Amino acid sequence: MASTETRAHPHTRNPGIPLDLDAVESITVNRSATERRAATLPGRRTVKKDWQAAWLLRAIQCIDLTTLSGDDTPGNVHRLCAKARNPVNTEILAKLGVDPITVGAVCVYHQYVEDCVRNLEGSGIPVAAVSTGFPAGLSPFRERIHEIKASVAAGASEIDIVITRAHVLKGDWQALYGEMQQFREACGEAHVKAILATGELGTLTNVARASVVCMQAGADFIKTSTGKEPVNATIPVGLVMTRMIRNYQQQTGWKVGFKPAGGIRTAKQSLDFLIMMKEELGDAWLSPSLFRLGASTLLSDIERQLEHFITGRYSAYNRHAMG
C-alpha cells in the first residue's frame, strides 16, 4: 500500500509571466457544460476495498490540517500538531501494512505560527499561515504585506493569501495582477497559495479569469475558498480551476498546485476531488507538492472509513482524537 512521501516541492516554482490581458479577457466558461462534466466525474472511477484505503491514505497526506476559529488556544493548536504528526491510529496502519504518514501541512492564523513551528520541529511538516487580512482581505495594503513578512519571519513556509474580490468583480485584472505580484514578493522563499473566495466572485468565468491572473503573477497554488463564504469548495469550481492550471502548464511549462478548501468533511468528498485531479491533471498532481485539501474535520471521517475497512464496523466520532 501507500508509504510516506516527501512534502518538498520537487518542481521549479512558478515564476509567473507578464500579464496577458487579451488571453484573460478571452476566457469564458459554459456553466451548464461544466456542471454536466462535474456530475459525471465521481462515477468515472470506482475506488473500492484496497484501492479505496490507498486513496484515502493519499488524501490524508494532502490535507492542510486547519484550525481558524476565534476560540483557538495554544492547547488546541498543540493537539492539532500532534494529530498532524500521527494522523492515523498506528494499529490501523500496521494492519494495512503501511509506514507512518503525516498530513501535508498545518494551517493556522499568524498568532500561532511560532507555536506550530515549535510543536512540529523535526517532523518535516510545513506550517501554513493565513494572511493578508484573512478572510475578507480588506485591511490596509501595507498591513497585509507586513502580515505576510511577519508570518514568514515566524517560520511559516507557506502563506495562504486572500485576493481583493473587488478587483475581480470590476474586471480590474491589472490591479489583481499587481497585488498578487507584491504578495508573492513579500513571501520570499515561502510558497504562496492564492485564495480566490470563489463563492463571492459571481460567475465561473470570473473564477477562471482570476485563476489565470494569479498564476501569471506567480502563485504557487490557487485555492478555492477561505472556508468562511456561504459557498466554498465545489466540484464545478474545482473543474474550472484545474483546467486553468492545465492550460497554464501547457502554455508556460510551469506547474501550479490546487487547494480546495471549505466544506470538505467526508471521505467521499476527498475521493471526488482526488478523482478530479487524476482525470484533469494526471498523477503528478496526486501529491502534496501540487494538491492540498483544506479541512478541519475531514480527517476524522477518513479514519472511520479506514477502521471500517479493517474491522467491518464504523466507530463513533468521539473515539478519534482532534482532527
The 10s digit of each residue's pLDDT in 69-100 is 999 999 999 999 999 999 999 999 999 999 99
pLDDT in tens, 25-77: 999 999 999 999 999 887 666 676 678 899 999 999 999 999 999 999 999 99
Q: ω into residue 140 within 30 of 0, thus cis?
A: no
Is residue 236 scored above 90 in pLDDT? Answer: yes
Number of H helices, E strands in the chain: 13, 8
Percent of the chain topping pLDDT 90: 86
C-alpha cell at 75: 492547547
The residues annotated as belonging to the active site are: 160, 223, 259
- State the pLDDT at residue 45: 64
Domain 22-47+104-291 fold is: TIM Barrel (3.20.20)
3-class secondary-structure state, position 300: helix
| Distance of alpha carbon 24 from alpha carbon 215, whole angstroms | 11
The four Cα atoms 258, 264, 265, 271 give a dihedral, to 10 degrees, of -60
pLDDT band at 313 (very low <50, low <70, confident <90, very high): confident
Q: Is 243 exposed, middle or buried (0-12, 13-18, 19+ CB in 10 A)?
A: middle
CB 264 within 8 A of CB 294: yes
- State the pLDDT at residue 12: 86
Asked which of 124-133, 149-158, 299-308 is least confident by mean pLDDT, the reply is 299-308
pLDDT band at 319 (very low <50, low <70, confident <90, very high): low
CB 277 within 8 A of CB 286: yes
Closest CA to 222 of 186, 198, 196: 196
Element (H, E) at 57: helix 49-61
| Distance of alpha carbon 161 from alpha carbon 46, whole angstroms | 35
Q: How far is CA 206 from the centre of its chain?
A: 20
Identify the DSSP state of 317. G
Mean model confidence pLDDT for the chain: 93
Q: What is the mean pLDDT of residues 165-177?
A: 98
Query: Is the sign of the CA dihedral 309, 310, 312, 313 positive or negative?
Result: negative
Residue ranges of E strands in the chain: 63-66, 105-108, 127-130, 158-162, 191-195, 221-223, 257-259, 293-295
Is residue 3 scored above 80 in pLDDT? Answer: no
Instruction: Indicate the pTM of the whole model.
Output: 0.94
| Distance of alpha carbon 224 from alpha carbon 239, whole angstroms | 11
Q: What is the mean pLDDT of residues 234-247?
A: 98
